[in-house]
């Protein structure tokens, strides 16, 4: 146990250098900037849909950086415990391949797909020279870290939308999008003439590392050094069959199961060459199965929020608004305001526009309970996002993001074939 305590303390000493040491900090703050830009895109979508921003980019970026630091610390312990080394694993090929996949479709920019492609190329042609077990173990642990972050905060950046499910029903949903900068500590395998002459070494048990080095160096002259590197993980999903917290937790569990199976296959691949093919193929195919299963479940499942037959169903509530302070929650139904029954969403603002000294709201909760809520004083906006009734809906359709390659081809085609100006 003592070697791993010493190793944990070493990780705690190395990790802060990823944030503050100039050699590594530039990469960290660059990733933070990219994360901020992603959250600003989410805020722009919210402002376009509703005229206000629910998830402020600065606040979300600060939370994501703090959560990513916690996730990176946990991921670093797992990486070092398993013995994933950057040396000779061919990690440098992952990012270029992931960027090429991004040109085809933004959702393919994932290390599980890139790692699978690089590993299969090596198994078929012997190039690029990589450690299949090392690459797939890194992919597995990054996804395991992602599952922990989704479990912790995947629900905290939820944008309310109206979409049509596979049955063409117009239902309320939440677009979940989270991005985290994740500084991690990884091992670098070094060959030294005489390791006994080095100071500060931590003697590890004979069974460590779980992930074998595949003969890249002589184990008798090998030592591991700790190095901070930057990673970034993201999460995107549509919550239809449940609230954001429920759906994100369900996804986190599925992703964690996938990650643990892939990690087991990666460790086996580092010990037996015949296991490299299962690990290389399960990485991308298993991830695709997880994505498609989640999408199918949400699009085909029973919707959590449908427009109410009477009253106005609440899709979401703005934080700090009068509605939030009165205790109104997503899924509630406004039955009446000041004794006037509600049949359409426009009535809410119409009633609020009249002079009044107080508001008395009749609310029906999802469990069937009725409650009367009182707000004293003039209110111009309740701070609710209602589910539009039949004939008054404005859809915010969630569609797959277009690939950059398709967009470039379309622009080129239009320039070539558009009629000349008169």
Task: Tell me whether residue 281 is in a domain.
Answer: yes
Task: Tell me whether residue 130 is in a domain.
Answer: yes
124-148 burial by CB neighbour count: b if 16+ within 10 A, else e? eeeeeebbbbbbbbbbbbbbbbbbb
Helices (H), 238-397: 244-271, 276-300, 322-326, 346-352
CA dihedral 185, 186, 190, 194 (to 10 degrees): 60
Are 233 and 279 in a shared domain? Answer: yes
Task: Tell me whether residue 338 is in a domain.
Answer: yes
Question: Alpha-carbon distance 39 to 118, whole Å?
Answer: 31
Residue 153 is part of which domain span?
A: 2-193+209-300
Task: Tell me whether residue 175 is in a domain.
Answer: yes
Are 148 and 292 in a shared domain? Answer: yes
Cα 125 to chain center, whole Å? Answer: 34
Task: Tell me whether residue 15 is in a domain.
Answer: yes
Q: Which pLDDT score is estimated for 286?
A: 96
Environment class of residue 74 by beta-carbon count within 10 Å: exposed (0-12), middle (13-18) or buried (19+)? middle
**What is the pLDDT confidence band of residue 74, given thresholds at 50, 70 and 90?**
very high
pTM: 0.86
Task: Tell me whether residue 398 is in a domain.
Answer: no
Are 321 and 289 in a shared domain? Answer: no
Domains held by the chain: number? 2
**What is the pLDDT confidence band of residue 281, given thresholds at 50, 70 and 90?**
very high
Angle between helix 132-153 and 276-300 (nearest 10): 30
Are 343 and 269 in a shared domain? Answer: no
Are 133 and 253 in a shared domain? Answer: yes
Are 51 and 176 in a shared domain? Answer: yes
Residues 372-398 have pLDDT tens digits of 999 888 888 888 888 876 666 554 444
Question: Alpha-carbon distance 267 to 286, whole Å?
Answer: 17
Are 128 and 261 in a shared domain? Answer: yes
Are 327 and 246 in a shared domain? Answer: no
Q: Which pLDDT score is estimated for 181?
A: 92
Are 85 and 226 in a shared domain? Answer: yes
Are 243 and 334 in a shared domain? Answer: no
Residues 78-110 have pLDDT tens digits of 998 888 887 767 777 887 888 788 777 767 778
CATH code for position 355:
2.30.42.10
Are 293 and 364 in a shared domain? Answer: no
Are 284 and 333 in a shared domain? Answer: no
Task: Tell me whether residue 199 is in a domain.
Answer: no
Of these ranges, 44-58, 143-157, 163-177, 311-325, the one predicted with the greatest mean pLDDT is 143-157
């Amino acid at each position: 146990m003592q070697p791993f305590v010493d190793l944990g303390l070493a990780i705690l000493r190395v990790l802060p250098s990823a944030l503050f040491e100039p050699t590594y900090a530039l990469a960290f703050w660059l990733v933070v900037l990219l994360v901020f830009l992603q959250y600003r895109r989410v805020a722009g979508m919210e402002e376009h849909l509703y005229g206000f921003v629910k998830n402020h980019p600065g606040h979300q970026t600060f939370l994501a950086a703090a959560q990513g630091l916690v996730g990176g610390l946990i991921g670093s312990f797992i990486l070092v415990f398993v013995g994933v080394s950057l040396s000779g694993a061919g990690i440098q090929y992952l990012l270029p391949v992931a960027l090429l996949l991004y040109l085809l479709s933004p959702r393919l920019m994932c290390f599980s797909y890139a790692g699978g492609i690089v590993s299969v190329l090596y198994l078929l042609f012997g190039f690029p020279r990589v450690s299949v077990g090392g690459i797939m173990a890194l992919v597995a642990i990054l996804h395991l870290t992602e599952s922990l972050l989704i479990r912790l905060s995947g629900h905290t950046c939820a944008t309310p939308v109206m979409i049509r499910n596979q049955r063409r029903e117009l239902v309320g949903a939440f677009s979940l999008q989270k991005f985290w900068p994740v500084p991690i500590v990884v091992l670098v395998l070094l060959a030294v003439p005489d390791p006994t002459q080095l100071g500060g070494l931590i003697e590890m048990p004979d069974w460590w590392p779980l992930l074998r080095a595949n003969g890249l160096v002589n184990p008798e002259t090998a030592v591991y050094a700790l190095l901070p590197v930057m990673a970034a993980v993201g999460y995107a999903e549509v919550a239809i069959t449940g609230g954001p917290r429920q759906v994100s937790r369900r996804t986190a569990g599925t992703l964690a199961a996938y990650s643990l199976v892939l990690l087991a296959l990666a460790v086996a691949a580092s010990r037996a060459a015949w296991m490299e093919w299962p690990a290389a193929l399960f990485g991308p195919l298993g991830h695709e199965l997880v994505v498609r299963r989640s999408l199918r479940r949400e699009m085909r499942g029973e919707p959590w929020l449908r427009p109410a037959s009477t009253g106005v169903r609440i899709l979401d509530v703005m934080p700090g608004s009068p509605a939030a302070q009165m205790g109104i929650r997503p899924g509630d139904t406004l039955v009446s305001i000041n004794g006037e029954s509600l049949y359409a969403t426009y009535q809410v603002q119409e009633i609020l526009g009249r002079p009044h000294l107080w508001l008395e709201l009749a609310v029906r909760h999802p469990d069937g309970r009725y409650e009367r809520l009182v707000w004293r004083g003039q209110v111009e906006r309740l701070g609710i996002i209602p589910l539009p009734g039949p004939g008054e809906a404005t859809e915010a359709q969630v569609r797959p993001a277009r690939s950059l390659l398709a967009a470039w081809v379309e622009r080129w085609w239009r320039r070539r074939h558009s009629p000349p100006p008169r």
